[in-house]
Homo-oligomer: A and B are copies of this chain.
Amino acid sequence: MSETLRLIMPQWQGGNNPPYYFGSKLLAWLAPEQKGIPEIEVPIEPYDGTELTMENGVAGRSALLRQLESATKILEAYQPKRVIVFGGDCLVSQAPFAYLNEKYNGNLGVLWLDAHPDVSTPEMHNHEHAMVLGNLLGKGDADFAAHVKVPLNPELVMYGGLEEMTESETVLVNSLNLRSAGASDLADTSQPVLDWIAENHIEYLAIHFDLDVLDPSLFRSLLFSQPGGLPIDASKGKMTLAQIARLIKDVSRETDVVCLSIAEHLPWDAINLHNFLAEMPIFQREPFL
C-alpha cells in the first residue's frame, strides 16, 4: 500500500471561478510522475454555464460541502501518510489538513503560504476559499468547521508571505494570535519558519501553497494577472518561486512534510490556447474521404 496519495481536486466553486478547474488538471500534469503512487480525482461538479447561487452567504455552499465530503471519504479509504494536492481553489486544503491533523493526533503543523489570511467568515466574504484556514481552526464558516474533527492548534499554524489585510481580517488574525513571517522576512532566509518548527517540536508539517503568494509580475498564472482583466482590490504577493522552493526544501530537512497542497492556479495562456485550439476546424476534419 502506498504511503502517499496524489489528490487532484479541480474545485472552482470556492472562488466562484470556473478556470480553477483547468488549473488543477494542468498542475497535476506539470508534477513529477510517481510510479506506483495512486492519483485520485475528487468528483467536482463542472461549470455548466449557470451562475452559482448564494446559500447562506456563500456561493455554491452545498456543492462545496458535497465535494468536501467526497475528498474526506477518499482520504479515509486510502489512509495515506502523506498527501499531495493539486487544486483548485484554496478550500481544497480543508479535507487533507483535517484528515492529517486527526491522523497525527492534533499535532499537525501548518505552514500557510498565502498573501491572504483565509480566516474570513460568511459575514465578511461570500467565497468559501477565503475561510478555509478559519474552518480548520474551528472558526470561519460553521457548516464547514463542523467537518473538522480535530481543529488545528493555533500555535502550530504559521503564515508565510502574508500581505496587508483588511481591517476586519486584521482583527480576526490578531484574535487568533497566529505566527507570521512576511515576504521580506523570508526573502533571504527560512529561519523564522525553522525557529517556529524547532520551538514547537513540529514533527509533521502540512504546507498550503496558495500561488498568489507569488509576485504576479513574475508568475502570471494568478487571479491578479488575468490578461486584460480588471484590477482586483486585494493584496498581491511579493515572493518568488525560488524563495518558496528554498523554504520548502529547508523545512523538509527539519520536519516530515506530510502534505503539499497547491492552490489557485489560473494558467491564463494555457486556458486561452486550449480554448483556441478547440475551435480550430482542422481538429474536426476527420474522418473524410
> Residues on A close to B: CB < 8 A?
2-4, 26-27, 29-32, 34, 36-37, 82, 84, 217-221, 227-228, 241, 244-245, 248-249, 252, 257, 259-260, 265, 267-270, 272-274, 276-283, 285-288
Contacts and interface: CB of A to CB of B under 8 A. Distances in A.
Given A260-B280, A279-B249, A220 B269 contact: yes
A29 B277 CA distance: 11
23 contacts: A2-B287, A3-B286, A26-B270, A30-B270, A30-B277, A31-B274, A31-B277, A34-B286, A37-B286, A218-B228, A219-B269, A219-B272, A220-B220, A220-B268, A244-B276, A245-B279, A245-B280, A248-B280, A248-B281, A252-B282, A267-B267, A267-B269, A270-B270
A227 B26 CA distance: 20
Q: What 6 A-B pairs come out closest when comparing CB atoms?
A: A252-B281, A218-B227, A221-B269, A30-B274, A32-B283, A31-B277
Contacts of A36: 286-287
A262 to B, nearest CB: 8
B260 A282 contact: yes
B241 A285 contact: no
Q: Which of A2, A265, A276, A287 has the most CB of B within 10 A?
A: A276
Contacts of A241: 272-273, 276
Contacts of A31: 274, 277, 283
Given A241-B276, A249-B281, A2 B220 contact: no
A219 B283 CA distance: 22
A84 B277 CA distance: 11
Contacts of A283: 31-32, 34, 84
Contacts of A84: 282-283
Contacts of A285: 3-4, 82
A53 B218 CA distance: 31
Contacts of A269: 219-221, 267, 269
A227 to B, nearest CB: 4
Given A227-B217, A267-B270, A287 B3 contact: yes
Given A30-B274, A249-B281, 6 more contacts: A2-B286, A4-B286, A221-B270, A241-B273, A249-B280, A267-B269
Contacts of A252: 281-282
Contacts of A244: 276
B282 A257 contact: yes
A259 B281 CA distance: 11
Contacts of A34: 283, 286
A229 to B, nearest CB: 10
A32 B279 CA distance: 9
A260 B277 CA distance: 10
A282 B245 CA distance: 12
